[in-house]
Amino acid sequence: MSHDQFGKIPQSPEMQQQILQAELDTVEENLEVLKQQGHDVSSGMLKGLIKRKENLTAKIATIQYQMDQNKDTVIDFKQMGIDHIFVDESHQFKNLMFNTRHDRVAGLGNSEGSQRALNLLYAIRTIQEQTGKDLGATFLSGKTISNSLTELYLLFKYLHPKELENQDIR
């Protein structure tokens, strides 16, 4: 199916909440580190993290509200029984959200990411949760890593989250 058709498949609200909560936890950890550094922190860096925390908190609240309001039985990705995804032209999903303490650094890209990339992350995490392994997706592209190490990190975030966790990379 096309990327646009894939984006129309509803994702599990529980998985959405779980992933966004993990991102929020990382932002809170970064805020704690910045507070410990004290006067060495720029106000722009601090404001950026606080804004990111507010945005993630709002997204989590919206998902919770939708879960409380929607009692309909809509079939989501988790219920479809899909156990592997082949993603052609995977470079179109490289704009995934990520956390950093640094702001306005050349080559980092947009830390907010795109909804298209986030939907793919939800789907891959759903498969990985079902299998208990860092499996479930194959990326195909002629230009996967083109501009920065951020793109490499995001590939690992999709495909090998447990390994990143073992290496204490967040």
- Residue 23's H or E segment, with its range, is helix 13-37
Q: Are 161 and 128 in contact (CB under 8 A)?
A: yes
120-160 confidence digits (pLDDT tens)? 989 999 999 988 888 889 989 887 676 677 788 888 888 88
- Percent share of the chain, pLDDT over 90: 7
Looking at residue 39, what is its pLDDT? 65
The closest of 4, 7, 16 to 122, measured between CA atoms, is 16
The closest of 170, 162, 161, 126 to 14, measured between CA atoms, is 126
Token digits of residue 126: 């759903």
38-61 confidence digits (pLDDT tens)? 766 677 777 777 888 888 888 888
Higher pLDDT, 101 or 58: 58
Q: Is residue 107's pLDDT more than 80?
A: no
Max mean pLDDT among 14-18, 60-64, 103-107, 123-127 falls in 123-127
Extents of the domains making up the chain: 3-166
The pTM for the full model equals 0.72
Looking at residue 71, what is its pLDDT? 66
Looking at residue 84, what is its pLDDT? 92
Range scoring the smallest mean pLDDT among 16-20, 60-64, 84-88, 99-103: 99-103
CB-neighbour burial class of residue 86 (10 A; exposed 0-12, middle 13-18, buried 19+)? exposed
Max mean pLDDT among 16-30, 65-79, 105-119, 137-151 falls in 16-30
CA distance 33 to 94: 27
Secondary structure (3-state) at 138 = strand
Looking at residue 48, what is its pLDDT? 77
The DSSP result for 79-128, as a single string, is GGT---EEEETGGGG-------S--S-TT---TT--HHHHHHHHHHHHHH
CB-neighbour burial class of residue 125 (10 A; exposed 0-12, middle 13-18, buried 19+)? buried
* Backbone φ/ψ region at 73: left (φ over 0), alpha (ψ -120 to 50), beta: beta
CA distance 44 to 47: 5
- Give the pLDDT band (50/70/90) at residue 86: very high
Looking at residue 127, what is its pLDDT? 92
* Backbone φ/ψ region at 168: left (φ over 0), alpha (ψ -120 to 50), beta: left
